[in-house]
Each structure stands twice: as C-alpha cells, then as structure tokens.
Structure 1
Amino acid sequence: MGVCPCSHASLSHCESCTSCSSSTKKRKQGQKDDTNGARKRARNDVERIRWGYSLDLMLYDDPWKIKKVLQKSDLGNMSRLLLSKDLAENLVLHVLNADERRDAETGIGTEISIWDLDTNSMHSLLFKRWGSSKSYVFIDKWVQDFVKRRHLKEGDEVAFHWDPYNHHFAFTVLQVF
C-alpha cells in the first residue's frame, strides 16, 4: 500500500478517489488474470496428459518424422537404406497391418509404396528387419529408384512421413550436402 495523493486519506489508499480506486482495481484485475492463466495452463497440462494432445498454440509441427543423413553404407552395392530400431518400430511398423508387420519383423519383408514428392513419382521398396540385428531396412530398388535417379550422395538428408489419406509413405530430400 502506498500513500494516497488525495487530501482526505493521508496514510493509505482510499476507495473514494478516482486515482486510488483505479490503481486498486488494476492490481486486483492483474491478480485475477494471473489466476485465470494458471488455471488455463493447468487444464491444458491435464488434457495433454489424458488425451495425448495439447491445447497450446503450435506454429509448426514438422511432418518429416523419419529423417536420415545418408552414410556410405546407404549408398553402396548392398542397395539398402538402414533405419534405427526406434524409428522403424515407432513410425513404420506402427502404420502397417498385422500381416505386414509380422512379415517385416520376421525378415520376410513387406512391400511399401513410397511417393517421391520432389519428382511426383511412385516407387516400391521392401521393408524388413535386417538379418540378426535390431535394425530395419528399405531394400530392393533403393539405389536404382532413389540414390542414382536422385543423385544422392553421402551427407544428404532424406526424410519420410506416413500419408494416412493415401496410405503410403512420402519421401523428400531435405538437404543436399
């Protein structure tokens, strides 16, 4: 509390003058706004935990969840693009049906359609677990349809994402080395 500038209350704010009552109202309004903001943030946190989404404003969500900086082994004669176990299990196996998932996990492999966004062309690769390792690969025509055709080289960054409306993966080159 401060000293009231009006003459009828010298030691504390009064409720009768305009100067004192407006500053008191502003202070109370600010406290109310802070309380409402805290309630809103808490409600958003509860919703995010319960339903797995947020009510907070998001300006951009990168759709390219599977990203890979190409290494020499991805470009060679083995004709394969190696994906980590985590990427494959969370982002590729997750969108396959039960039969496709079983074939991929057992090493038989399942055919995956891939739309190249940059060249507007559809391709097909075999997706499967790589030998006894815990990694997964896209094989068959990887080198022919992507590496050679797109002139990919070591250090280039490529990306994939699942297109749920067209039921295929989309592919793009994010960065050329």
Structure 2
Amino acid sequence: MEAKVIQQVHAQAVDPDHWRIKKVLKRSDVDDSSRLLIGRKLVLTHITPFFTNNPSEFCQNKEEIRVTIFYVNTLIEHMLTLKKWATNSFVLLNNWKNNFVNRRKLKENDEVGLRWDVNTSRLEFTVLERHQNYE
C-alpha cells in the first residue's frame, strides 16, 4: 500500500521539538534483525495521522506501507516499509540495515531522530547523538 497524503499542515517557522520521534538504538535495531523498532504510540501520534483518517484502523488491519525516508545529512532518500508487528509496535523494514545501520555506522546506544515532513510527505531521519564507547 502506498502512502497517500490526506492532510496538509504548514509547519511553524520555529519548531522547538523538531525531531518528534527520538530513539536510543537497541542491539536489535543494529544487529542482523535488519529493522528499526518504533513504539506504537509514537507512530500513531507522529506518522500515521498524515496518511490515514483513522490511525488506529491502520493499526488493527496490520497493514504495511512503503514510505520515503530522507536522511537529512546526506540529502538522500530511501524507500522502506512501515509495518505493524503482533506486539503492536511498528518496524521499518527493507534495507534498514544496509541503508542506515551500515552506511551511517550506527551502533547500539546511538540516538536517532525521525519526523514526518508535511511539506514533502516523507519521513526525515538524522543521527542526533553518537554513543561514546569508553572501553
């Protein structure tokens, strides 16, 4: 299912909390599981309202959609799949490991940010903080 924009909202010029979804990466986000786990409430609040009239219905139907992920540091877009798991969490799949973990050298405990860009109808991604390994 392709995401279709049903709501256009103009972002405020100054957004004090630009990165609506912040996640400290877990081992399973960067290992061979090849997916980024995102909490249900975060997806229903900050992503699905922009492409469905009823976010909770998207959740019940266990649908998946293809979304464009824009890495703001390199200005490169990637297509990933957003899918609901049986645990009611959501995951970004299909080349997460190659396009993000490997290319960006993401490690456990790095913090990443995501937000839906209403002007371009895509999910923006950035690395907010690299975890320092003090071995």
CA gap 1:135/1:115 in 2 versus in 1, 3 angstroms? same
Match of 1:151 in 2: 105
2:28 counterpart residue number: 73
Distance 2:15 2:121 in 1: 23
Could you tell me how far apart the structure 2 residues matched to 1:69 and 1:172 are? 12
Secondary structure, counterpart of 2:17 in structure 1: coil
Using the alignment, how far apart are the partners of 2:118 and 2:89 within structure 1?
24
Considering fraction of residues, name the structure with more strand. 2
Distance of aligned partners of 1:99 and 1:123 in 2 relative to their CA distance in 1, 3 Å threshold: farther
Over aligned residues, Cα RMSD in angstroms? 2.1
Name which of 14, 23, 43 aligns with 1:88. 43
Q: Give the letter for the 1:174 counterpart.
A: L
Find 1:167's aligned residue among 121, 124, 132: 121
Q: TM-score, normalised by structure 2?
A: 0.79
Pairwise mapping of residues 93-172 of structure 1 onto structure 2 (< 5 A)?
93-97=48-52, 105-130=60-85, 132-172=86-126
For 2:31 and 2:43, how far apart are their aligned partners in 1?
A: 21
Normalising by structure 1, report the TM-score: 0.61
More deviation, 119-128/94-103 = 94-103
Contact 2:59 2:88 in 1 (8 A): no
1:91–1:60: structure 2 CA closer, same or farther, 3 Å change rule? closer
Query: What is the deviation of 1:120?
Result: 1.1
Structure with the bigger RCO (C-alpha within 8 Å, sep 6+) is: 2
Q: Counterparts of 1:17-56 in structure 2 under 5 Å?
A: none
- How far the C-alpha of 1:96 sits from its partner, in A, is 1.6
Any conservation in 1 of the 2:49–2:55 contact (CA below 8 Å)? no
Distance in structure 2 (CA, Å) of the matches to 1:82 and 1:161: 15
Question: How far off its partner does 1:106 sit?
Answer: 2.6
Q: What is the percentage of aligned positions where both structures have the same residue?
A: 33
Pairs aligned (count): 118
Q: Which structure has the highest helix share of the two?
A: 1
- Whether the 8 Å contact between 2:109 and 2:130 is mirrored in structure 1 is yes
Gaps of 5+ in 1: 1-58
Where do 4+ consecutive residues of structure 1 move more than 6 Å? none
**Of the two, which has the highest radius of gyration?**
1
1:102 Cα offset (Å): 5.7
